Amino acid sequence: MIRSRMTRRVLLAGATALALGSALGSVQAQTWPSRPITVIVPWGAGGGTDATARMIASILEKQLGQPVPVVNRTGGSGAVGHQAIASADPDGYTIGIATLEIGTMHHQGLTPLTHEAYAPIGLYNSDPAALFVRSDSPYKSVKELLDAVKASADRRFKASGSAQGGVNHLALAGMLKAAGIPVTRVAWVPSEGAAPGLQDLAADGVQIATASLPEAAALISAGRIRPLAIFAPKRDEVMKDVPTFKEASGFDWSIGSWRGIVAPKGTPADVVVRLQAEIGKVVTNPQYLEFMKSKGYATGWTPGDGFRAFMVESDKGLGTTLAEVGLKK
Amino acid sequence: MDAFFLAFTMVFNLETMLIIIAASLFGLFVGAVPGLSATMALALLVPMTFFMEPIPALAAMVTTSAMAIFAGDIPGCLLRMPGTAASAAYTDEAYAMSRNGQADTALGSGLVFSAVGGLFGTAVLIVAAPVLAEFALNFTSFEYFWLILLGITCAIVISSDRPLKGAIMLVAGFLIASIGMNNPAAFPRFTGGNTDLLGGIGFLPMLIGMFAASEVLRSALDRSPKATIVDQPIHNVFKGMWALTVKYPVQILRGSTLGTIVGALPGAGSDIAAWMSYALSKKFSKEPEKFGTGHVEGIIESGAANNSALAGAWIPALVFGIPGDTLTAIVIGVLYMKNLNPGPTLFTNNPQNMYAIYILFIFANLIMIPLGWATIKVAKKLLNVRREILLPIILLACIVGTFGMNNSAFDVGIMLVAGVVAYILEENDFPVAPAILGVVLGPMLEENFVKSMIKADGEFAFFFARPVAGILGILTLMVWTYPLLRMIWRRRSARGKAA
C-alpha cells in the first residue's frame, strides 16, 4: 500500500540506500566495531539503570577503541526505550539495557513487545526494592505506616518511584496486598524513574516512595529521606540496619528490579558472541566492580541462554503478581 | 574544594583546550559573516558534541556562543550589516562611527565591553544558580507546572512584538512534541502507525533544520547586492578603552545587569537585551541628541548587555531545565544527551560539573580579548568570504551531522523538512523561537500537569495549596488577565470622567 504511493524517484533513492546498506552490512560482520556503538537506556538519566549502563559503556569504550554513547529514551513506562532497542538495526551498533519491565508491559497491554524481540547478551545486576518516607514523616516503622494506610481514606496516601506498573509500583502494590490492604488505597503518581520519584518524596509531593537502596543513597545521606524496609529475604550488606519487610511487618513480600544487556533480534550471531565476551570482560573489571560496590549495586553475570531462561521465569512471575494486584489486562 | 580542583583538571587539559580554541575560531567566523547566526553556529556544533565527553562538549557550546555574539559587531561596524541578531540594535551607530573615522573605538569597545558584560553575567550565574538550586530542591510537580507555564507566558509576552503569532508557534511546538509515545500514558499519538514516529520527532535534527538549514535557504535566496566595506585602516583597537570605562561606569553596570536579567527570562535572549539596553542608554544619557550620529555610549551599554545575557540564560536552563533563549534550548538538548540532566540535583550530585561550567564561562570571556583582536585584524578578508562556497558547505554539514548522530535517514528527512518549514514561517513573520521552546517545555508541562492532577485527585484548587506553587500560580494568572483587567480599568475610569 505504501509502496504504491511512492514516486519513482523515492523508490530509486530507497533502492540505492538499500544496496548501500547491504553492502555495508557484509563488511560489518568482519570489522565490527568500526564505528560508535549506541547503548539505549529506557529510563531517565540519574537512575540506577542509567548509572550502571554508563559505567559499562565507559569501560567498553576503552576495550573496543570506539565511542559508546549512552542514549536515554524515556517515556511510555519504559515502552519507548525497549521498543527503540527492538526496532534498531540489528547490526551490532545499537544495544540496550532491558529491565524487569520487559516482563510487565505486555501483561498490562502497553505494548506487544516481549523479551523475544531481543538477542540476550547477559544479565549483570538485580537489586531489591525498598520502602521510603521523608525524614520528618511521623511514621517511624513499617508497622506504623501500614496501620495509618489501613485506617486512611482511599487515595489519601500518594506514592511514587516508577512508571505505572513499573517495578517500584509493583513493590508497593504487592506490599499492600501482602498486608491485606486494598491495592487501590494508595494512589500511584507515575514518574520517569526512581530519581524524580524520590525527589518528589523529598519535596513533600508524595508521602511514600519505593526504589532500590542504591538509587536513594544520595538523598538518604543528605538526611532528606528514610528507608523503612527492604523487600528482600535478606538484609542489605551495606545498609545493615534496614530491616527486611518480613522482619518489620511479619508479612512476606520480596521483589527486585533486574538489568541486562540485549541486542535487537537478528543481530549477527558472531557479533552477539563478541559482545557477550567483551561485556563479560567488563563485568569483571576492577573499576566496574568497585563502582558497583561503592553504589551498593549487586553484581553478577548470566550470559546468553541463561539470561533467556531467567527472562522467561521473570515474565511468568510478574504476570502472576500483576494479575493479583489487578493491573493485568 | 576537591570538586573545584577536579573541575579545574576537567577544563585545563589538552583535549578541552584544543576544542576551546577550535570552537572560538568557529564562533568568531560564524559571528563575523553576515547572515550566519550564533544559533546556527550552535546547531551545527550539536552533531560534533555527540562524540565528545560532557565537559569538552559544554566548552564548545559556551565558547562558540560567546565568540559569535561578539563577532557579530564586526560586520555591523564595517558593512552596516549585523553579523548576528544581537548586534542589530547598534549597527547603525557603529557604522556611523566607522564613517567618522572611529572604527578603532567602535570595534574596541564592542570587544572589551562584550568581555566585561560576559564576566558580569558569569558572576551572577555563579552566585545565583546554587542558591536557586537549593530552593528548587523543594519543588514538586505543582511548582514546576506553574513555573513552566509562567516561563512560556513570559516568552510570548516579552520576546515578540507579535504575541499572537508567537502563541501560534508555541502551540505548534507543543503539537510536534506530542507526536509519539513520550507521554505519561505511553499512548502513541499522531504516529499514523509509523514506527519511526513512535519515539517522536527527534529534537536535535529538528533544531539543525530550523536554525541551520533554514538560514542556508534564506542566504541563498537573498538577492540584495553585496555591501561595500568601509575602507579605513584599523590600528590599535584597545586605545582609549580605559578612559571609556572611567567615563561610562554606570552604563556598563546597567547594561550588564539588564542583559543578565533579560537573558534569564525564558524566551528573551541577547538580541532583545541589546535593543532594550540601547533604548535605555539613550533615555538616560546626558547627550541623547548624539545617539545615531556615531556615539560610543550606546554601543558600550548594549554591547555589554548582549554578552551578559548569554550567561544569564544559563541560570534557568541549569536550575529548572527551562531555556532562557534559543541558544540554551540547544544546550539543554546537549545536556540531556550528556547525562547532565538540568535540575537542582545537577548541583548536589556532581558539583565538579557546575564548577567546570563556571570556569569555562570565565575562561571564554577572557580569551575573547586576544582572539577577538586577531579576528578584527583579519576582518576585511573574512567579510569577503563568498556565499556560494560557504552555503553548500553548511548544508553538507547539516546533512552529514544529522545522519551521523543516529545513522538514521529518517532524521535527515526531519531536518530538511524542518528547515524548509522554518524558512517559510520566518519569511511570513512567524517567529520560530517560541516553537522550539514549545518542543522543550510542552512534554514537561504535560508530565507535571498529569502528576499534579493525580496528587490532587482531580481537584484543581490543589494547584494553589502549596505556598510557592500558589504564588507562582497567581502570578501566572495575573500576567494572563492583565490586558483584560487594564481594559476594564480604562473603561471604568473613562465612564467615571464622563459622569
Question: Does the beta carbon of B406 lie under 8 angstroms from any beta carbon of chain A?
Answer: yes
Q: Which residue has the higher pLDDT, A193 or B299?
A: B299
Q: Is the ipTM of this complex over 0.95?
A: no
Average of pLDDT values for A280-289?
Answer: 94
Partners of residue B407 in chain A, C-beta under 8 Å: 89, 93
What amino acid occupies position B317?
A
Burial label for B17, CB within 10 Å (0-12, 13-18, 19+), is: middle
pLDDT at A29: 53
Interface contact flag, A190 B454, Cβ < 8 Å: yes
More confident residue, B394 or A165: B394
Taking residue A58's Cβ as centre, other Cβ atoms within 10 Å add up to: 16
Q: Which residues of A touch B337 (CB under 8 A)?
A: 69, 71
How confident is the model at residue A61, as a pLDDT? 92
A7 or A206, greater pLDDT: A206
Q: B476 in helix, strand or coil?
A: helix
Q: Tell me how close the Cα of B332 comes to any Cα of chain A, in angstroms.
A: 13
Surface of B (267-296) touching A: CB under 8 A? none
Helix (H, G, I), strand (E, B) or coil at A178: helix
Domain ranges of chain A: 35-126+257-324, 128-256
CA B155 to chain centre: 12
What is the grid cell recorded at B75? Answer: 560586520
Query: Are residues A74 and B182, on separate chains, in Cβ contact within 8 Å?
Result: yes
Q: Using CA atoms, how far apart are residues B372 and B29, in angstroms rounded to an integer?
A: 10
Q: Which residues contact B495 (CB under 8 A, 6 or more apart)?
A: none
Question: Which chain A residues have a beta carbon less than 8 Å from that of B336?
Answer: 45, 72
Q: Which residues does chain A have within 8 Å of residue B339's beta carbon, measured at their own beta carbons?
A: 45-46, 50, 54, 70, 72
Adjacent-strand bridge partners of A36: none
Q: Helices B38-49 and B14-32 sit at what angle, rounded to 10 degrees?
A: 150
What is the per-residue pLDDT for A4?
Answer: 41
For testing contact with chain A, the best of B15, B191, B341, B349 (most A CBs within 10 A) = B341
Residue B270 C-alpha cell reads as 541577547
Q: Which chain B residue's Cα is nearest to A105?
A: B186
Alpha helical stretches, state H, B378-432:
379-382, 387-406, 409-427
What whole-number distance in Å separates Cα of residue B320 and Cα of residue B147?
9
What is the reported pLDDT for A11?
Answer: 46
pLDDT > 80? residue A22: no
Q: Cα distance from B337 to chain A (closest Cα, Å)?
A: 6
Contact assessment for residue B407 and residue B47, using Cβ atoms and an 8 Å cutoff: no
Residue-level pLDDT at A160 = 95
Tens of pLDDT along A91-146? 999 999 999 989 988 988 878 899 999 999 999 998 899 999 999 999 999 999 99
Give B299 to chain A, closest Cα distance, Å: 43
Please compute the mean of the pLDDT values over residues A202-206 and round it to a whole number: 92
> Fold match between A35-126+257-324 and A128-256?
yes
Give the CATH number of domain A128-256.
3.40.190.10
| Omega before residue A33 within 30° of 0, cis | yes
Instruction: Judge: A200–B141 Cβ closer than 8 Å, yes or no.
Output: yes
Indicate the burial class of A274 (C-beta count within 10 angstroms; 0-12, 13-18, 19 or more). middle
CA gap B230, B95 in Å, rounded? 8
Sign of the CA dihedral with B443 first, then B188, A110, and A50 last: negative
Is residue B355 in a domain?
yes
Minimum CA–CA partner of B195 in chain A = A87
At A7, the pLDDT band (50, 70, 90 cuts) reads: very low
Residue range A35-126+257-324 in CATH 3.40.190.150: yes
A69 contacts in chain B (CB < 8 Å): 50-51, 337
Contact predicate B186/A83, CB 8 Å: no
Q: Do A80 and B182 touch (CB under 8 A)?
A: yes
Of A76, A84, A158, the CB nearest to B186: A76
Q: How confident is the model at residue A25 (pLDDT cuts 50, 70, 90)?
A: very low
Residue of A nearest to B189 (CA): A76
On whether residue B139 sits in a domain, the answer given is yes
CA–CA dist A172, B111 (Å, integer):
60
Is residue B228 assigned to a domain? no
Number of A–B residue contacts, CB under 8 Å: 96
- Å from B139 to nearest chain A CA? 6
Contact between B67 and B73 (Cβ < 8 Å): no
Is the predicted pLDDT of residue A46 greater than 70, yes or no?
no
| Predicted confidence band of residue A16 (pLDDT cuts 50, 70, 90) | very low
Pairing label, strands A118-134, A302-303: antiparallel
Total domain count for chain B? 1
Say if the Cβ atoms of A205 and B198 lie within 8 Å.
no
Residue B181 near chain A (CB below 8 Å): yes
C-alpha to C-alpha distance for B432 and B414, rounded to whole angstroms: 16
Q: Are B57 and B46 in contact (CB under 8 A)?
A: no
Residues of B in contact with A200 (CB under 8 A): 140-141, 451
pLDDT at residue A18, rounded to an integer: 45
Q: Does B137 touch chain A (CB under 8 A)?
A: yes
pLDDT, position A21 = 44
d(CA B31, CA B13): 26
Q: Which residues of B37-51 are buried (b: 16+ CB within 10 A; e: fewer)?
A: bbbbbbbbbbbbbbe
- Across the range A280-301, mean pLDDT stands at 90
DSSP B25-76: HHHHHHHHSTT--HHHHHHHHHHHHTTS-HHHHHHHHHHHHHHHHHHTHHHH
CB atoms within 10 A of CB B106: 27
| Chain B environment of A158 (Cβ under 8 Å) | 454-455
> Which of B137, B181, B454 has the CB atom closest to A76's CB atom?
B181
Q: What is the pLDDT of residue B399?
A: 93
From first to last of its 499 residues, chain B has per-residue pLDDT tens of 678 888 988 899 999 999 999 999 999 999 988 878 888 999 999 888 877 888 999 999 999 999 999 998 898 888 888 888 888 889 889 989 988 888 889 999 989 999 999 999 999 999 999 998 888 888 999 999 999 998 888 878 766 577 888 899 999 999 999 998 777 776 778 988 777 777 788 888 898 999 899 988 988 887 777 667 777 777 788 888 888 888 999 999 999 999 999 998 877 788 889 999 999 999 899 988 888 888 999 999 999 999 999 999 999 999 988 888 889 989 988 887 776 778 887 887 778 889 999 999 999 999 999 999 999 988 878 777 788 888 899 999 999 988 877 667 888 999 999 999 999 998 998 888 888 889 989 988 999 999 999 999 988 999 999 999 999 999 999 888 887 888 888 888 877 666 5
The verdict on pTM exceeding 0.90 is no
Residue type, A15: A
A189:B181 CB<8 A:
no
According to the model, what pLDDT value does residue B133 have?
87
A203 and B142 within 8 Å at the Cβ level: the answer is no
Q: B383-421 burial, b for 16+ CB within 10 Å, e for fewer?
A: beeebeebbeebbebbeebbbbbbebebbbebbbebbeb
Cα–Cα distance between B170 and B483 in angstroms, integer? Answer: 20
Contact B141 A199 (CB under 8 A): no
Q: Are A70 and A41 in contact (CB under 8 A)?
A: yes
B487 within domain boundaries? no
Note whether B464 contacts A: Cβ–Cβ < 8 A: no
3-state class (DSSP) for residue A6: coil
Expressed as residue numbers, the domain containing B401 is 2-223+236-465
